[in-house]
A and B are shown apart, each in its own frame.
Chain A
Amino acid sequence: DTAVSQTPKYLVTQMGNDKSIKCEQNLGHDTMYWYKQDSKKFLKIMFSYNNKELIINETVPNRFSPKSPDKAHLNLHINSLELGDSAVYFCASSQDQASGNYEQYFGPGTRLTVT
Chain B
Amino acid sequence: GEDVEQSLFLSVREGDSSVINCTYTDSSSTYLYWYKQEPGAGLQLLTYIFSNMDMKQDQRLTVLLNKKDKHLSLRIADTQTGDSAIYFCAETRSGYSTLTFGKGTMLLVSP
Interface residue A27 (Cβ < 8 Å from any Cβ of B): no
Q: Which residue of A lies closest to B50 (CB)?
A: A101
Contact across chains for B42 and A109 when beta carbons are under 8 A apart: yes
Q: Which residues of B contact A99 (CB under 8 A)?
A: 50
Q: Is the CB of B48 within 8 A of A41?
A: no
Q: Is A87 an interface residue, CB under 8 A from the partner?
A: no
B30 proximity list for chain A (CB < 8 A): 100-101
A100: which of B37, B44, B92, B103 is its contact (CB, 8 Å)? Answer: B92
Interface residue count on the A side (C-beta < 8 Å)? 27
B33-44 interface code vs A (CB 8 A; 1 in, 0 out): 101010001111
Contact A42 B101 (CB under 8 A): yes
What band does the interface of chain B fall in when counting residues whose beta carbon is under 8 Å from A?
Answer: 20 to 34
Residues of chain B in range 14-36 having any CB-CB distance to chain A below 8 Å? 30-31, 33, 35
- Nearest B-chain residue to A9, judged by Cβ: B40
The answer to whether B45 touches A40, judged by C-beta atoms less than 8 angstroms apart, is: no
Does A18 sit within 8 A of B, measured CB to CB? Answer: no
> How many angstroms between the C-alpha atoms of A99 and B31 in the bound complex?
10
Report A47 CB to chain B, min CB distance, Å.
9
Other than the given A4-B42, A43-B101, A103-B45, 7 more pairs (CB < 8 A) read A42-B104, A43-B88, A101-B30, A101-B50, A101-B92, A108-B41, A109-B41
Which are the 6 A-B pairs with shortest beta-carbon distances?
A: A102-B97, A106-B43, A43-B101, A106-B42, A45-B98, A108-B42
Sample (20) of A-B pairs whose CB atoms are under 8 Å apart: A33-B97, A33-B98, A33-B99, A41-B37, A41-B104, A43-B99, A44-B101, A48-B97, A92-B43, A94-B97, A100-B94, A100-B95, A101-B30, A102-B31, A102-B92, A104-B45, A106-B42, A108-B41, A109-B41, A109-B42
Residues of B within 8 A of A (CB): 30-31, 33, 35, 37, 41-45, 48, 50, 86, 88, 92, 94-95, 97-101, 103-104
